[in-house]
Structure 1
Amino acid sequence: MTEAAVYAAGAVCWRIVDDKPHVLVIHRTQHKDVSLPKGKVDPGETLPQTAVREILEETGLRVALGVPLGISRYPLMSGREKIVHYWAAEITEDAVNASTFLPNDEVAGLEWLTIKKARAALSYERDVEILDTFQALVKQGVLGTYAIIALRHAKAVPPFEWEGDDASRPLSRRGEQQAASLVDTISAWRPRRIVSSTAQRCQSTVEPLSRAVGRKVVTTAAISQDAYENGQADVREVVGRRVRSRKTSVLCSHGPVLPEIIREISLATGTPAGSYVNNASTLDTAAFAVVHLSRTSPASGIIAIETHSPRL
């Protein structure tokens, strides 16, 4: 991010109404316009975290992010550039029923519209362009998605400073801070399953996330570095289970194992090998790749991959 730019994040919130996808637009009170829900990044926030928070504040809807839809850039009257990142976000009936929205000084009303009607209602062409990207997913039949989040463990105590076996090597102080900082960002996708290598540094990385989302950590040596180096890893079985479940999950593993995890996701979904797939596995400690897959068309391959680096 640059100091000159103003960063924001939002989403195309969608649900199926009468067998058709409908999207949510907001009628803003002061601006007297119609737009997609979004808002500026607060200090210390990540973009996914901002998107989830702003949607809740503007619409009363608690969402889980889906596929990234692109970036909107436009100049502000101050001369600074505004850069807005968007995701798709499926809205469940439970979320609609639990919404706490009331008209206020910022948002006068919410409206669910078909894509065609939303294109006509939106006040800004830049919002229409994001909506067009969303519509492309609809036409491809891959609207409903889930994600496999491949996470490299946080910074660990160096081997030369540790006298025990490598699998018991703990996180460093910085690693503990990284693990805590991951929680709000990864929670934006609402993982349903957390799987970790048996190594202590991996388990400690996902423990704060486990507590925050209320999901127990499942450990397996099949994606551990020791098993990988000894030729005893079974990445295919672990990834296959997650693909078959069609639920968003986190796989916390090691730098040498991550390329195998990404490769097995590609093989399980029939995705052609490419640089964008390979690059997603080259991650620093506490960084992660969000691999988006179709829930309804499993053979359609990887829909999108986004990578996120740690803030610390």
Structure 2
Amino acid sequence: MTVFAAGAVCWRVVDGKVKVLVIHRTAHRDVSLPKGKVDPGETLPQTAVREVVEETGLAVTLGVPLGMTNYTMPNGREKVVHYWAAEVTDAAVLASSFLPNGEVAALEWLPIRKALGALTYERDAEIVERFRMLVDEGVTRTFAVIALRHAKAVPPYQFDGPDASRHLTERGRGEAKSIVPALASFGPSRIISSTAKRCRQTVEPLSKTLHLDVKTTDAISQDAFESGDDGIREVVGKRIRKRITTVLCSHGPVLPEIVREVALATGTASRVSASRAGDLPVAGFSVLHLSVDRPGSGIIAIETHVPQ
């Protein structure tokens, strides 16, 4: 049975140079990247954030996905580890409560070249090499537009009233709660929702968890989209100009257009493949990673997550 795990390439700028974090593990006597196994009920992004905190004391949010490694453990089981880049703020460093322990003996911030030489395993070095590509391209610091489809709602044929008043089912309410940890892993600081009740209900648990107000707008509603009166381009354009991670909660027919507008606004070459990220199941979301410093350089990476 395959073991799944997740971790991060934690990085920060020190004296104008990018440095990455390696950990010296106590029992294994090796140098590696912070990571750990998925706990029951966890999503991979949630695991990555938790493991970084547990092993280093550093609170992070996730940036660009860096792919995965797989290898066979001594017991013969396959292990698959997913990684993200994660910028570490000065505040997080100051707030870290790390002390040497039975799992991690020490933390070390190293320039990328030195980190590559220090890591014990080639598979870890390959992940750091992928991160170095971002540095070389000048797109290390990122923000995201998160396109979220509302959770399961009462079907139209079972609802007597305006479509915008349809509410979530019991399953939908469960989905809205279950996706909060994964969404929170990317550190959104803004939540924007269609005015439809099913969308507002979907982001309510996230709003409460992150203590963020929800801005509602008809501009990304299904009614406005179908009547041709939407304001998707304006909403997306503003989010990209603000350069902060934002959740946009909308509807199945609208989300491909939201993703397409992100691709257009950022000069993404393959807009057709990007728009597929808007084809989401209920309570599914796609994270579109964009450069803070070079927002016109296109979508750097897209990842899609669905409820478990």
Residue in 2 aligned with 1:244?
241
In structure 2, how many angstroms separate the alpha carbons of the residues matched to 1:223 and 1:272? Answer: 24
TM-score (norm 1): 0.98
1:187 aligns with 2:180: no
Residue in 1 aligned with 2:125?
128
Deviations 1:126-158 (A, max 9, x none): 000000000000000000000000000000011
Deviation at 1:276, TM superposition (A): 2.9
- What SS does the corresponding residue of 2:279 show, helix, strand or coil? coil
- What SS does the corresponding residue of 2:286 show, helix, strand or coil? strand
Count, aligned residues: 308
Residue in 2 aligned with 1:145?
142
1:299 aligns with 2:296: yes
Deviations 1:2-56 (A, max 9, x none): xx10000000000001111000000000001000000000000000000000000
1:231 aligns with 2:228: yes
TM-score (norm 2): 0.99
Residue in 1 aligned with 2:102?
105
- What SS does the corresponding residue of 2:179 show, helix, strand or coil? helix
In structure 2, how many angstroms separate the alpha carbons of the residues matched to 1:95 and 1:276? Answer: 36
In structure 2, how many angstroms separate the alpha carbons of the residues matched to 1:73 and 1:93? Answer: 32
More deviation, 274-283/110-119: 274-283
In structure 1, how many angstroms separate the alpha carbons of the residues matched to 2:297 and 2:157? Answer: 45
Letter in 1 for 2:190: R
1:7 aligns with 2:21: no
In structure 2, how many angstroms separate the alpha carbons of the residues matched to 1:272 and 1:12? Answer: 27
Residue in 2 aligned with 1:208?
205
1:16 aligns with 2:9: no
Residue in 2 aligned with 1:220?
217
In structure 2, how many angstroms separate the alpha carbons of the residues matched to 1:37 and 1:191? Answer: 23
1:30 aligns with 2:6: no
Residue in 2 aligned with 1:73?
70
Q: Which runs of 5+ in 1 are unaligned?
A: none
- What SS does the corresponding residue of 2:168 show, helix, strand or coil? coil
Deviation at 1:275, TM superposition (A): 4.4
In structure 2, how many angstroms separate the alpha carbons of the residues matched to 1:121 and 1:104? Answer: 21
1:173 aligns with 2:185: no
Letter in 1 for 2:89: T
Deviation at 1:80, TM superposition (A): 0.9
Identity %: 63
Deviations 1:103-143 (A, max 9, x none): 11000010000001101110000000000000000000000
1:46 aligns with 2:43: yes
Deviations 1:49-81 (A, max 9, x none): 000000000000000100000100000111110
Deviations 1:177-200 (A, max 9, x none): 000001101000110000000000
Residue in 2 aligned with 1:115?
112
CA RMSD of aligned residues (A): 0.7
In structure 1, how many angstroms separate the alpha carbons of the residues matched to 2:271 and 2:69? Answer: 26
